[in-house]
Structure 1
Amino acid sequence: MTQVLLVIDVQHGMFTMDEPVYRGAELLQTLQNLIGRARTAGVEVIYVRHEGGPGHLLERGKPEWEIHPEIAPLAGELVVDKNRPDSFFETVLQEELQARGVTDLVICGIQTDVCVDTTTRRAFSLGYDVTFVADGHSTWDSEFVTAQQKIDHHTDLMLRFADVKRAEEIEFFGE
């Protein structure tokens, strides 16, 4: 069994927008701790980075497109680029996970109700044992629903697709 920590779309632009991601500073702190624990345990961290296309906040090559510097990948850590909510769709993610013999994914990141949700469901459907980090994802308010309501709803919904745990409850193989 091989475990990987998958960090989805925690990009600089998510924190520099006029309305930054909900509770962004807390999210970064949680992810810093989680990433540090994974690395200490010898668990690989794989980053997913969204590309929005020309003129988009997350346009390839712009500073906002880069992984947030507080959780930036180390030299040699894999960054998978995508342009759809599904981190597996037309990317190298599945191929890379298979090459590493990965069976277990710990999933966190941004945006709760889009890319994190879609990738978690797809990972489950592909047969991975998935752990969803209950306090390791965030999003934005919408016209009808607050960010916190979305977070709570999706955390509950993920119980159907993953083992849902708070960051401090997650045990990395080798810990």
Structure 2
Amino acid sequence: MDALIVVDMQVGLLNGKPKHDLSGIIERINRLAASIRERSGLVIFVQHCSGAEDDFVPGTSGWALLPELNRAAADIVIRKTLNDPFAETDLAARLKEIAPDRILITGWATDLCVDATVRSAVSNHYDVVVVTDGHTVNDRPHLDAASVIRHHNWVWSHLITQRSVRLARTDELLL
């Protein structure tokens, strides 16, 4: 059984610079989520909760998950306050209960919360699939978004781990 983790795909990400291929990312996440649910897998939405310093304050419009995301009653929502959704949340306990064969990771922002999620999933001894066309970021001062995404996909494929870290495009996973 697979678990799909969707990191921080919230309304607040629409503020600021445009996110790379956001509509395509949402469409691919929705297709993956539907496929995983059909195969009795689990979809986990990670929702960032911040203080007044940004657009993810609980209860505000920016905190809400993007309305374009297709959600189901059985989906889990994990609220986090740090980049790493395994830190100070019950994500590790929830995953231990369901014991997925592998964890697929998607979401925003590639270089921050998605990266922390990939590394923590590996550190928590899960086989990980990074959905290479399922995560996004905006341009950074030193790199354009496409380069940030390409760089992180390369880094993740070279992590030293005792578990599997696989990179795959959505269409490969839907076969």
TM-score computed with the length of structure 2 as normaliser: 0.91
Aligned to 2:21: 23
User: Structure 2: how far apart are the matches of 1:20 and 1:36?
Assistant: 26
Of the structure 1 ranges 57-66 and 95-104, higher mean CA displacement relative to structure 2 is found in 95-104
- 8 Å CA contact 1:47, 1:73 repeated in 2: no
Deviation at 1:22, TM superposition (A): 1.9
Of the structure 1 ranges 145-154 and 68-77, higher mean CA displacement relative to structure 2 is found in 68-77
SS at match of 1:33: helix
Aligned amino acid, residue 142 of structure 1 = R
Aligned residues: 170
- 8 Å CA contact 2:8, 2:45 repeated in 1: yes
User: Structure 1: how far apart are the matches of 2:18 and 2:56?
Assistant: 14
Aligned to 2:51: 53
Q: Deviations over 1:89-109 (max 9, x none)?
A: 000100111111224101111
- 8 Å CA contact 1:45, 1:78 repeated in 2: yes
TM-score computed with the length of structure 1 as normaliser: 0.91
CA RMSD of aligned residues (A): 1.5
SS at match of 1:74: coil
Aligned to 1:10: 9
SS at match of 2:46: strand
- Aligned pair 1:86/2:84, yes or no? yes
Q: Deviations over 1:94-128 (max 9, x none)?
A: 01111112241011110000010111011111110
User: Structure 2: how far apart are the matches of 1:36 and 1:76?
Assistant: 12
Deviation at 1:168, TM superposition (A): 1.0
1:111-122 correspondence runs (5 A): 111-122=109-120
Q: Deviations over 1:26-69 (max 9, x none)?
A: 11111111111112222110110111212520110111111111
Aligned amino acid, residue 145 of structure 1 = L
SS at match of 1:168: helix
User: Structure 1: how far apart are the matches of 2:86 and 2:101?
Assistant: 15
SS at match of 1:120: helix
- 8 Å CA contact 2:79, 2:89 repeated in 1: yes
Q: 1:55 to 1:165 in 2, by over 3 A?
A: same
